């Protein structure tokens, strides 16, 4: 979710929703909601909403109230959107910080990362916002840059810190503990998710490996078979495996809990720079991900089955740079777009 480079283009293009499908070439618990499938909808129909803010929507999570909550990079704001597109923006009153990721907490509230927006990264926070909009900010000791956050199987919040080369655990009371991640200089814990095996799994962006950390802090690494991709987002799939995106190369990876890795290639011009920054399990038994081609400007939402078949759906707004995606209910996924939009795509 991110991210390293975001193209923010506000021009709305009248693109046809042309759908391209390809069988991928292998190289080697979806959230629930109240929304039922949209009547008369077909797979891949996209609707967008312009947000009433100058921020860049990034992380997204389904709240216990049935609304979509999102973080805004480059601002200290959290947004809330109903499934019908009604917005409310909550200001956190800090010009030194920005919100980057957000997750549904074990306590019915939303939890988010709130790092400094510039070095020295010495006053980062983990925030909590109730569905009524009440905010608590919990300090993180030391130099940190929390990028991604998730609820762990132990009922705590876990977040990845790439500046501190660490994974952290925080209780719902705000007590934090740091687990240093071993590795060479440049180790870069990036995205994190709860695995199907009672552990947390994360991507090491610069280290080109997938990490596993137990709730007691024991770390295991699995290097990628290919070293030309940068592992970005990660999610647990409906098949009990972990699925992750690979920037630069346009591939989706899959890893078993025992460490076996396969990669699936998205059909795209080989010379293009592809940015894949979000992936989530869908209500249809597949994985859905976000896609930005920085060479051609094409923005898309993709679907990959657990057998590796990939289908791509262009977004109405070109160069929208969608960074994150999540499921909501029986027939839809919602996603954020750096072009100051929120999107919805039907899954059936």
Across the strands, what pairs with 243? 235, 254
pLDDT in tens, 135-180: 999 999 988 889 999 999 999 999 999 999 999 999 999 999 999 9
User: Do 1 and 191 form a contact (C-beta atoms < 8 A)?
Assistant: yes
| Whole-number pLDDT of residue 184 | 82
In the CATH scheme, what architecture does the domain 20-346 have? 7 Propeller (2.130)
pLDDT in tens, 230-242: 999 999 999 999 9
The 8 Å CB, 24+ separation contacts for 76-81 are 76/114, 77/53, 78/102, 78/110, 78/112, 78/127, 78/129, 78/135, 79/51, 79/53, 79/55, 80/133, 81/49, 81/51, 81/334, 81/342
| Whole-number pLDDT of residue 40 | 54
Whether the predicted pLDDT of 75 surpasses 60: yes
pTM above 0.85, yes or no: yes
What is the distance in angstroms between the CA of the first residue and the CA of the last residue of the chain? 25
| Whole-number pLDDT of residue 34 | 32
- Per-residue pLDDT band at 123 (split at 50, 70, 90): confident
Instruction: Kindly list the distances between the CA atom of residue 146 and the CA atoms of 143, 151, 161, 237, 317, in Å, as whole numbers in the listed order.
Output: 10, 14, 4, 24, 29
Q: Measuring CA to CA, which residue among 273, 274, 268 is closest to residue 291?
A: 274
pLDDT in tens, 38-58: 555 689 999 999 999 999 999
- Per-residue pLDDT band at 28 (split at 50, 70, 90): very low
- Helix, strand, coil share (%) of the chain residues, nearest 5: 0, 45, 55
- Per-residue pLDDT band at 183 (split at 50, 70, 90): confident
Domain segments of the chain as ranges: 20-346
| Whole-number pLDDT of residue 249 | 87
Across the strands, what pairs with 104? 110
Mean pLDDT of 304-316: 97
């Amino acid at each position: 979710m991110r991210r390293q480079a975001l193209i923010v283009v506000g021009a709305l293009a009248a693109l046809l929703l042309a759908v391209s499908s390809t069988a991928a070439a292998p190289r080697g618990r979806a959230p629930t909601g109240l929304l039922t499938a949209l009547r008369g909808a077909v797979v891949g129909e996209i609707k967008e909403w312009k947000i009433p803010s100058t921020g860049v929507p990034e992380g997204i999570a389904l709240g216990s109230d049935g609304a979509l909550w999102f973080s805004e990079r480059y601002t200290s704001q959290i947004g809330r959107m109903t499934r019908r597109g009604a917005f409310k923006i909550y200001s956190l009153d800090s010009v030194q910080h920005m919100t980057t990721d957000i997750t549904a907490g074990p306590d019915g509230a939303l939890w988010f990362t709130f790092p400094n927006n510039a070095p020295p990264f010495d006053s980062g926070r983990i925030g909590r916002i109730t569905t009524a909009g009440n905010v608590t900010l919990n300090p993180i000791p030391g130099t940190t840059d929390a990028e991604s956050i998730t609820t762990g199987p132990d009922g705590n919040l876990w977040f990845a810190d790439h500046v501190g080369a660490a994974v952290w655990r925080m209780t719902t009371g705000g007590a934090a503990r740091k687990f240093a991640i071993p590795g060479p200089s440049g180790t870069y814990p990036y995205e994190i998710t709860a695995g199907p095996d009672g552990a947390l799994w994360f991507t090491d962006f610069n280290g080109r490996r997938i990490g596993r950390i137990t709730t007691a802090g024991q770390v295991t690494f699995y290097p990628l078979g290919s070293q030309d991709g940068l592992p970005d987002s990660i999610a647990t799939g409906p098949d009990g495996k972990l699925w992750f995106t690979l920037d630069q190369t346009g591939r989706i990876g899959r890893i078993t809990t025992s460490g076996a890795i396969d990669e699936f290639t998205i059909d795209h011009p080989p010379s293009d720079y592809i940015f894949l920054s979000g992936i989530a399990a869908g209500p249809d038994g597949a994985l859905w991900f976000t896609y930005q081609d920085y060479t051609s400007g094409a923005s898309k939402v993709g679907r990959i089955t657990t057998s590796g078949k990939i289908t791509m759906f262009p977004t109405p707004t070109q160069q929208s740079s969608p960074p994150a995606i999540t499921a909501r209910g029986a027939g839809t996924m919602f996603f954020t777009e750096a072009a100051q939009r929120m999107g919805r795509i039907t899954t059936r």
